[in-house]
Structure 1
Amino acid sequence: MRARTTLTATAVGAGSAALLGGAGIAAQRRGVRRLRNRPDPHAAEPFGSLRGRPAPVRASDGTRLYAEVDGEDRTDLAIVFSHGWTLTQDSWHFQRRALRDHGRLVLWDQRGHGRSDGGAPDEYGLPRLAHDLADVIDQTVPAGTPVVLVGHSLGGMTVQRFADEYPHLLGDRVVAAALCNTSSGGLGEVTLGLPALAAALARRTLPRALRLAGAGSSLIEKVRHLGRDGVLLIEDHIAFGPGASPTAVAFAEQMATDTRMDAVLGFLHSMITHDVISECAHLTGIETLVLGGEHDLLTPVGHTLRLAAKIPTARLEVLPDAGHMAMLERPDAVTHHLTALITRTRKNLGI
């Protein structure tokens, strides 16, 4: 869930130059220069270049979803990755490369994201995603192969809702889960670092603004590219922690720009209007990792702690110096914790 600001960072960025005037444009350009001149450990990283075997999935409502499988000959363990809001399966770049020897990897694009088709306007909601994930598992993982679910942000909410909708699959088919930089509810109260008064105003006006924006999403789609420098700065400030790789920030901004606007708005509305996304009762019966970032403004540490408290059996990890995009900011640490989860799971299964 990378709910960057009020309507969307793209909408904010598209109008920022006109609103701020010449001084604002100059300040924005200085900000972009500072970002691009920052030390960049991932400057040469080929983000988006890792590919697996295409595995088209047909959702139960007929929507075409795009998935890829790495290690299609593996039937000992499957690891299914669900990405966050305005991202794609490629956001798992580092983990995909590191975990290819650990089992059958399945990565998919949520509806309206990446290479997947969009759904009907009323199908951009958290309940729908649980059924999409069930279809992905059913059509990409052989029967009898145990499954580890890994979800980031919106993907973590997808995993939670899947557990609510399909509790009979937990413990047998689905044997472990990782919930990364996500929340079990109350996202409408997140301040994004804004002063209290501004945050309260945003909470009151945002749901209605999203409905109005949804009606004009096709127009926003046509002009969203006009303010990409502004979006880049918002992405860096809100979605990433301090000192993030400029290349990683730009990659995240590109994924956001490529996401369908109706999906951006629809899923954001669903996330912020669910006071309770899940009570997580069924996840207590499987091996679970809850992972958060110290500087996460979108699903803050308080949400991470509250989520972990709902799953007393979960292992809790909070990464220092990481923001919401921990898997791109602290890839080695995230991969380490996922590897440990997989190792514990294999031990539990005796494989």
Structure 2
Amino acid sequence: MSTRQFVTRDGTRLAVETAEPVGSAAETTVVLVHGWTQDRRTWDRVVGLLPPDVRRVRYDLRGHGESAPAEPGTATIDHLADDLAEVIDAEAPSGRLVLAGHSMGGMTIMALADRHPELVRNRVNGVAFVSTACSGMDRMTLGLPGFLGNLAHRVERGLADLLTRYRGDRLPIGRIPANLAIRWLVFGRGPGNADVASVVDQFLRAHPASVGAFQNAISLHDRTAALATLRHTPSVVLAGTADRLCSPRHAQAIAAELEAGHLVLYPDAGHMLPQERAHDVAEHIAALCRFPLVTK
């Protein structure tokens, strides 16, 4: 396993980690794309469960983890898609690809299909959409009804605006309140303390102005039409029934656009399926690696 600093065409430094298979050349590369306010550690419990004969690539999105902050105007899902295309070109320039995206990472894969359709048609042989959405993120109610849902939406919009104007390097919140908020917000029933701690640590490391701008980008996200590029690609759509951010309704909307897609809902699981259902997520990604090469 090696980690290096990769610089994109617009000069943004990304932390990229690549693990090569032992003793053989990789015919398949799995690229793991994390979500909003997280980093490549999202996949810690998944990456070691993937087939040993595949190359595994994961990286920190701009504005997250060990990567550089997103410069003003670049905290968009379009820029994330272009970054993903560049990472693929640098780390896996040939062979077939299996892409797995959690939350905003799934949105990034949809934008890749929109902005780089030839890359997707020619090389992507499987996609796992994990706790994500193709549209409908403009009104975040956190699953709360009526007045509470309206209040949650207003607070979310206000926080995004405040964060985009915040000039500090780290989010201005302590670990204890962050732990309580994240445990309620993104986990389902009975999360492990180590998993919560990891998600909190990733959250606290994210760059505030970047994540505020990305939250605005998520609210505008609509890549339903782009899923046509992946319509016949083997795929799986995974969601927790207790997900407050990307509900089963969002997962069903994605699956409806994918003729070769398979929808799986996990009762009582929340948004963080790579932690809450790591073995299941890994098994579904591994199954996509075993599909024969798709001719499109």
Q: Answer whether TM exceeds 0.5 for this pair.
A: yes
Amino acid at match of 1:224: P
Q: Distance in 2 between matches of 1:266 and 1:75?
A: 37
Q: Say if 2:188 and 2:242, in contact at 8 Å, map to a contact too.
A: yes
Gaps of 5+ in 1: 1-51
Matched, 1:161 2:116: no
Per the alignment, do residues 204 and 88 of structure 1 end up closer, same or farther by CA in structure 2, a change over 3 Å counting?
A: closer
1:277 pairs, out of 219, 223, 231, with 223
Q: How does 1:1-351 map to 2 (within 5 A)?
A: 52-71=1-20, 74-99=25-50, 101-143=52-94, 145-203=95-153, 206-207=156-157, 209-215=159-165, 217-219=166-168, 221=169, 224-225=172-173, 227-274=174-221, 276-279=222-225, 280-344=227-291, 347-348=292-293
Q: Which has the larger radius of gyration?
A: 1
CA distance in 1, matches of 2:87, 2:218: 22
Please state whether the residue corresponding to 1:247 is helix, strand or coil.
Answer: helix
| Residues 31 and 56 in structure 2, CA contact (< 8 A), matched pair in contact too | yes
Q: Please, what TM-score do these two structures have when normalized by structure 2?
A: 0.92
Measure how far apart 1:122 and its partner are: 1.1
SS at match of 1:177: strand
Q: Which moved more, 1:147-156 or 1:194-203?
A: 194-203
* 1:203 to partner: Cα distance: 3.3
Seq. identity, %: 32
Structure 1 stretches of at least 4 aligned residues deviating more than 4 Å after TM superposition:
none
Amino acid at match of 2:109: V
Give the secondary-structure state (helix, strand or coil) at the position aligned to 1:123: coil
Name stretches of at least 5 consecutive residues in structure 2 with no aligned partner.
none
Does the CA-based 8 Å contact 2:164-2:210 persist in structure 1? Answer: no
Paired residues of 1:170 and 1:285 also in contact (CA < 8 A): no
Which has the higher mean CA deviation after the structures are superposed, 64-73 or 172-181?
Answer: 64-73
Larger helix proportion of the pair:
1
In structure 2, the CA distance between the partners of 1:239 and 1:206, relative to structure 1 (3 Å rule), is closer
Question: RMSD value over aligned CA atoms?
Answer: 2.0
Q: Which amino acid aligns with 2:118?
A: H
Question: What secondary structure sits across from 1:121 in the alignment?
Answer: coil
Deviates more, 1:316-325 or 1:64-73: 64-73
